[in-house]
Structure 1
Amino acid sequence: MTLSLPIRRLGACGIEVPAVGIGCWGIGGPAENLGLPMGWASGSDESAAQEGLETAFALGARLFDTADVYGLGRSERLLGWLVRQVPRTELVLVSKVGYFVGTASHGYEPGHMRRQLEQTLDNLGTDHLDVYFLHHTDFGAASEWLDGAVEQMRSFRDAGLIRAIGMRGPHRHALERLSTPRHSRADKVEQFRDLFHRVRPDVLAVRDNLLSPVARASGVYGLAAEHGVGVLVNKPLAQGLLTGVYSPSAPRDFPPGDHRRRKRWFTAEALAIIGSGLAEVRALIGNDPDELLRYALWHCLDSYQHAAVLAGFTSPWQVRRNLKALGQCPDREMLDRVRRIMADVQRRLDAGGEVFRDEATGAETT
């Protein structure tokens, strides 16, 4: 059964996609990069990943998002399995470059970018990407790699290897969060706005969800609208935290290679705060777990008409649940009430930042 998902146009680049796309970070499995855990221990089952991808396509998903660093190529290769099963013209494929450095001087060294794109195309079994993202905003000291990276992306687009250039919204490089004290960090919104005008992207990738509404708070949607730029929203379910599947009474012990080991919102203390907020939301909208998903997804989609969300998965049932839960946009007054409840939860989490510290490094992470 194919679902009737709303169609979104990603701004002036003209790419059209169903409103809910499939994030493929999770299926990369556990991995480490830059000395940090950055994968998902729960995504190591290859057959489940393939069934999930197949299920997504059968239900009407056509947008699939991956990156060279997800599982250090494993996610791309798994997605490539689907690409070889279905018509390429029915897919919108997204990948990213920058975090997987290998032996290069920098992730945005132009020669490295060319080699990574070639490998990505081989992994996916295609001759082009629909959107190719600059995966982070660290272009080296004094932005020494920025001009070369932008020129390289434009040459990819001119050659037909990619259809659109993407860049991250307000974002901190993973190592900056560990190495730079909070009070010494640059203003990431100001940095983003400067880079936006230098990169001139076709599509933005932003983190936006009821727990962390970065895009709404920073004016990203308004900037995108002003310049005709599409938006792909990642982490709309806050990596599962908005689904109610995590229990503060039984916090999970994530194994090596799982990025949640270093995320403070997965600690028992933080989960208790999140759980209290979700209980308040359920008292308002009811106990159907799919209603939580519907409100979370529409929080993002209702913010900008040229935005689509990327819902990740590690199992087929998550794909079915995420796609089927979308339904119609909730009453906007109710949606705003839910937003206010969860905004208060975020304030409480931020106020507890000194409590939720990474046990391994002592650095605050989110």
Structure 2
Amino acid sequence: MRALGRTGITVPALGIGCWAIGGPDHNLGMSMGWASGADSATAIAGLETAWELGARLFDTADVYGHGRSERRLAHLVAHVPREQIVLSSKVGYFTGTARHGYDPAHMRRQLGQTLDNLGTDHLDIYALHHSDFGADDRYLQPAVEAMRAFQAEGLIKAVGMRGPHRFAPDRLATAPDRRGDKIARFRAVFDAVEPDVLAVRDNLLTPTARSEGIFAFARERRCGVLINKALGQGLLTGMYDPARPRRFPDGDHRSRKRWFTPDALTVLQEGLEELRSLVGSGSADLISIALWSCLDRSPDAVVLTGFTTPGQVRVNLTSLRDHPRPQILERARTIMAAVQARLDDTGEVFLDETTAPS
């Protein structure tokens, strides 16, 4: 069980990420969904399996399938005690016809739609999905005021935001040497928002030196942490074969990410083979060490795992087994950090978002 900082929310250490069950999608002129996402019946079965196996925190967003993920999650919400399920959603990436995703009137409409989609009268966590607040941060303070108003009205309990990251259109269109300092940007937004929860990308491919800073930062400020991409969107499970690379169709975000190319997968496969010799050859062995690596980052962190089938949910939520020895965890991190370094050297950056604020 994990207590999410000062929020008063206590949940099992493994939660469920609901991006993939939103299915294929486009937003801001780019693919942002999962073409291999589950159909409605499979998604609902996976959510029910997660509940039966003890998951209690479910994380979604208005832009995941433009409401499809939220509406599928509503099938579970309708059949479990509301006080026992923790619901987290996000706002900002879907603009619709508003001037900006963080226009306060738009945020209120989106929150109302999210509540309708989920079939609930409140969210436990509501997060700002990115850190672009318009020219000269025009919408930053209005967005913060909107979030505090939602809290005062009892529509949300805790306010969340992303850890250090880059806004997706900027990451795609701006050359690396022209990008701003994402750590300085994170600090500026954090100071304005004063969030209760941080969403942080972390996994075995994240060097420990990068991870330690953000988790220490969160602890000092009594922030809970939701760790996402813990399994590298499946990359750390061994499910991607460089000899038979997948072709991701339009609407699947993986079609624009270098880690899913044959050359990158070849480098990854070499690291996974070394990892298998350390922890075991099965997919569950890889999943277990990947999840434990994240769980050990902070006692205030909950690790989110996504899925497209009930079978994936079952393996993820039953794979922890005994806690690995510290030296095994450290060796696993060293092996995979070397893989990350190799890909950095060739320009195949994994888009890590956990660089530590100083």
Which TM-score applies when normalising by structure 1? 0.94
Q: d(CA) in 2 for partners of 1:217 and 1:193?
A: 16
Name the CA distance, whole Å, in 2 between partners of 1:171 and 1:285.
Answer: 31
1:13 aligns with 2:4: no
Give the alignment's Cα RMSD to 1 decimal.
1.5
Q: Percent identity?
A: 61
Residues matched between the structures, number: 352
Question: Counterpart of 1:220?
Answer: 214
**Alignment of structure 1 residues 1-366 onto 2, 5 Å:** 7-213=1-207, 216-217=210-211, 219-353=213-347
After superposition, give the CA deviation of every residue in 1:50-73 in whole Å (9 maximum; x if it has no partner).
Answer: 100111101111100000000010
CA distance in 2, matches of 1:311, 1:87: 22
Tell whether the 8 Å contact from 1:17 to 1:62 is kept in structure 2 after alignment. yes
Q: Deviations 1:218-238 (Å, cap 9, x if unpaired)?
A: 711011110111000001000
Task: Work out whether residues 89 and 123 of structure 2, in 8 Å CA contact, stay in contact via their aligned partners in 1.
Answer: yes
Q: Deviations over 1:116-163 (max 9, x none)?
A: 000000000000000000000111111111000001001111111001
Offset, 1:217? 3.5
Q: Which amino acid aligns with 1:98?
A: G
Answer yes or no: is the 8 Å Cα contact 1:189–1:218 preserved in 2: no
In structure 2, what is the Cα distance between the partners aligned to 1:222 and 1:45? 39
- Taking the aligned partners of 2:270 and 2:234, their CA distance within structure 1 comes to 16
- Paired with 1:155 and 1:327, the residues of 2 have a C-alpha distance of 43
Q: Please list the CA deviations of residues 231-250 of structure 1 after superposition, one character each: whole Å capped at 9, or x if unmatched.
A: 00001000000000000011
Once structures 1 and 2 are overlaid, which stretch shifts more, 208-217 or 184-193? 208-217
CA contact (8 A) 1:248 1:271 kept: yes
Deviations 1:224-282 (A, max 9, x none): 11011100000100000000000001110011100000010000000000000000111
Distance 1:329 1:322, change over 3 A: same
2:158 and 2:243 map into 1 onto residues whose CA distance is 45
Question: Aligned AA for 1:222?
Answer: A
Runs of 5+ consecutive residues of structure 2 not aligned to the other structure: 353-358
Question: Match of 2:44, as an amino acid?
Answer: Q
Aligned mates of 2:209, 2:43 — CA distance in 1 = 29
Q: Which residue of 1 aligns with 2:355?
A: none
CA distance, structure 2, for counterparts of residue 214 and residue 99 of structure 1: 29
Task: Work out the CA distance in 2 between the residues paired with 1:85 and 1:20.
Answer: 21
Structure 1's consecutive aligned runs of 4 or more residues displaced over 2 angstroms after TM superposition are 212-218
Determine helix, strand or coil for the equivalent of 1:43.
coil
CA distance in 2, matches of 1:146, 1:35: 23
Check whether the contact 2:35–2:249 (CA below 8 A) recurs between aligned residues: yes
Paired amino acid for 2:94: F
SS of structure 1 residue aligned to 2:276: helix
Give the 3-state SS of the residue equivalent to 1:42 in structure 2.
Answer: coil
Q: What's the CA shift for 1:365?
A: 6.9
What's the secondary structure of 2:290's corresponding residue? helix
In the alignment, is the contact (CA less than 8 A) between 1:28 and 1:39 conserved in 2?
yes
Q: Secondary structure at the match of 1:85?
A: coil
Answer whether contact 1:208 1:215 (CA < 8 A) is retained.
no
Relative contact order: is structure 1 or structure 2 higher (C-alpha 8 Å, sep ≥ 6)?
A: 2
Letter of the 1:329 counterpart: H
* Secondary structure at 1:41 match in 2: coil
